[in-house]
Amino acid sequence: MNEEWRAAQRVFAAAAGWFVDMADRVGDRWAEPGLGEWDVRALVGHTSRSLLTVEEYLARPTDTVDVASTSAYYVATRAIAAGPGVAQRGRDAGTALGEDPVAGVREIAARVLPVVAAADGTELLTTIAGGMRLADYLPTRSFELTVHTLDLAAALDVAAQPPPDAAREAMRLVADLAVHDGTAATILLATTGRRGLPPGFTVL
C-alpha cells in the first residue's frame, strides 16, 4: 500500500468526519434552505451519497479502466451533474435518512469508512462514468464531502474551515480542472487580487 493511497484514505476519513460533525449541528433546521432547490435535509442527503456511492460502486467490480484520473471523472460527468436527476437523488437521499437524519449519517459513515480503510486502492469499480480504480475515484468523494460540508456550514450560518489535508486535496483538483479547461489564468489572477472571477464561474 503506497503513501499516496494512505493519504487519500486519511483525507476521506477526515472529510467524512467533518461532514458528520456539521450534520450534528443542524438541530431542527432540516426544512430550511440548503443549496439551490435543496433544503438542508436534501443537501445532507446528497452529501451522504459521497459515502454511499463508494459502497455501491465497489459492489459493482469491473475489469476495465475507462476513466484514468480524478479530474477526468469530473470532465466525464459534467453533463450528468448538470441534469435534473441530481436534485431528485439528493431529495431522495435526504428522505432515506429517516426520522433521525444525524443518526442516519453516522450509520452510513460507520459502515463505509472501515470498507475504505481495508481497501488497497487498486480495486476496480463501476462508476457512472465507467470503470475506475478506487484510488482515483475516492478523491472525488473527498472533494464532494469537503465542498458540500462548506455548503452546509453556509446554510447554517456557521463559520467553518475544512480539515487542512482535505482542503489541500480539493484545491489540487480545482487546479487540475482549471489547467485542463484553460482557465488557470482566470483563477490565478483572481486569487492574487488582480481581478474578480466572472459571474457564474466554476471548474465543475
> SS3 for 183?
coil
**191 found inside a domain:** no
Q: Are the CB atoms for 173 and 71 separated by under 8 Å?
A: yes
Residues in the chain: 204
Report DSSP letters for 144-171, one per residue. HHHHHHHHHHHHHT------HHHHHHHH
Domain boundaries, position 69:
3-161
pLDDT tens column, 16-32: 999 999 999 999 999 99
Total count of domains within the chain: 1
Asked if residue 20 is part of any domain, the answer here is yes
Q: Please tell me the pTM assigned to this model.
A: 0.95
Domain assignment present for residue 98? The answer is yes
Task: Please report the pLDDT score of residue 79 as a whole number.
Answer: 84
- Judge whether 56 lies within some domain: yes
Domain of 135: which CATH number? 1.20.120.450
Q: Note whether residue 78 is domain-resident.
A: yes
Q: Is residue 201 part of a domain?
A: no
Does residue 115 fall inside a structural domain? yes
Indicate if the pLDDT at residue 7 is higher than 80.
Answer: yes
Residue 131 phi/psi, 5-degree rounding, is -70, 140
pLDDT digit string, tens, across residues 132-161: 999 999 999 999 999 999 999 999 999 999
The answer to whether residue 176 sits within a structural domain is no
Instruction: Check residue 80 and give its pLDDT.
Output: 83
- Residue 13's nearest CA partner among 158, 141, 122 is 141
* HEC per residue, 69-82: CHHHHHHHCHHHHC
